[in-house]
Structure 1
């Protein structure tokens, strides 16, 4: 990996925010940031990482997934159903699947080149036309079309069946 101190300085705040949105306390988020870097460094210098930010995000997602599995196992023994015929209000498995998909979406979006990501988000989130995006970015309409196509292919690959 690149210079660890510089990577930590650049990525730790983003990872802390990522964990803070998903944990109960700031201290827990801080511990998870450290655990993320510990796991990344545990891979050793033999690992060549093209996108360190995306790699760290993937490790962070796996940490959260591992913690959710452990918590689910612990709580399964404590669960007592009041009435087995009544459906549960919220399906925790479905929520975990949705969270997993959103995490995968975030990783794929972070791995896109900045221009491609900007063009895709301008079209899909802001609803801008290709012509409006071309005017905003200085690209041609054809380049905008290709950028959106590249983003769609990356999303299809990243969010495909798992």
Structure 2
């Protein structure tokens, strides 16, 4: 996969992921852009076996590095950032889950993603989602079915079984 392909596919989801960690869109974009520049300068793209996992971990660590540098302004407990790929279900908390949820949800088609996030993140019922979206409840059910199937597939593929359990989408 070329650097251009990686950038086009992962830039926006990685920016969303980084924003959840550093709480600033501009800084998150700078971090992700820096990551891609570093990959391009070092010509590391051809050596990456699992680009999605590599990019997620690299983005997380670059965000942690940024937060460490900000310790003069505010102390940050870096230990609170667990290694998402290897944690057990009991070790994950909402702080760990939300950025990953948004990252993987960003891979869903737009309408499916909207329905999924309204249900899982906002806690709306299918009826409330149908009213808000101006569609039938059956349409919402179908979109959620697609979303859950795709999310299960994505999370299993990337070894995030703990998220499957915590999100109750297995």
TM-score (norm 1): 0.50
Q: Name the TM-score, length of structure 2 as normaliser.
A: 0.48
- Structure number with the bigger relative contact order (C-alpha 8 A, sep ≥ 6) is 2
Higher radius of gyration, 1 or 2: 1
